[in-house]
Structures are given as C-alpha cells and as structure tokens.
Amino acid sequence: RLFFFASASKLATSLVVLRMVVDGVLALDAPVDRWLPEAALAGRGITLRHLLSHRAGLPLDLPPGVVSYGVPTCWRDIAAALPAIAPVGAVGGGVSYSN
C-alpha cells in the first residue's frame, strides 16, 4: 500500500543527509553533481545546502509525467527531468519552496 507522507519526508531526508555530513560522507557545499551525475545539473552550482534550504532556484513542483498522484515515480525520473526544468530564481538567491 502506498502512503502519502507529504512534507514529513523532507524532514527525514534532511536528517539523514545532515547525519551523513557529520560522518564525512557528504559535504553541504559541494555540487550535487558529485553524488547525482544523472541529474545533469553541472554548471548550475547547486549544492546540498541549496537544496535543503530551498535556495536551488527550482520550481515548486516537478513536471507532469514525473509524478503520479503527487508522488515521484522514481529518483531516476526526477534526475532525468531536472536539466529541462527552468529555474525560477538564481541559485543561492531567495527561498523558493520546492518539492
């Protein structure tokens, strides 16, 4: 059965990411391409810190076809869709809540 966790998953994801930062596995200020080359975000300068603070310049929602009933189909679909998503602001600029 599929459960809709809504924004609670953001808290859990942030907790795991920050724990990995403490353990030295991830770095908040390194480009995300380092860990997600599939996302092809090279050149945008997006870091984990930008993603966690909603300052990556990404729009609120993913495009149709990447989500089903408000839930992403899989992480590979998300990564593949990111290069085509037009930014809504400058990376590191103002906060733009993004799913």
* Structure confidence by residue, pLDDT tens digits, 26-42: 999 988 888 877 666 65
Q: Taking 70 as the threshold, does the pLDDT of residue 81 lie above it?
A: yes
Q: 47: helix, coil or strand?
A: strand
The one catalytic residue in 7, 9, 53, 96 is 7
DSSP state for residue 36 in the 8-state scheme: -
pTM above 0.85, yes or no: no
Instruction: Give the H or E element holding residue 68.
Output: strand 67-68
- Is 14 catalytic? The answer is no
Which pLDDT score is estimated for 42?
57
Helices (H), the chain: 8-22, 48-52, 75-81
Q: State the Cα–Cα distance between residues 31 and 79, nearest whole angstrom.
A: 14
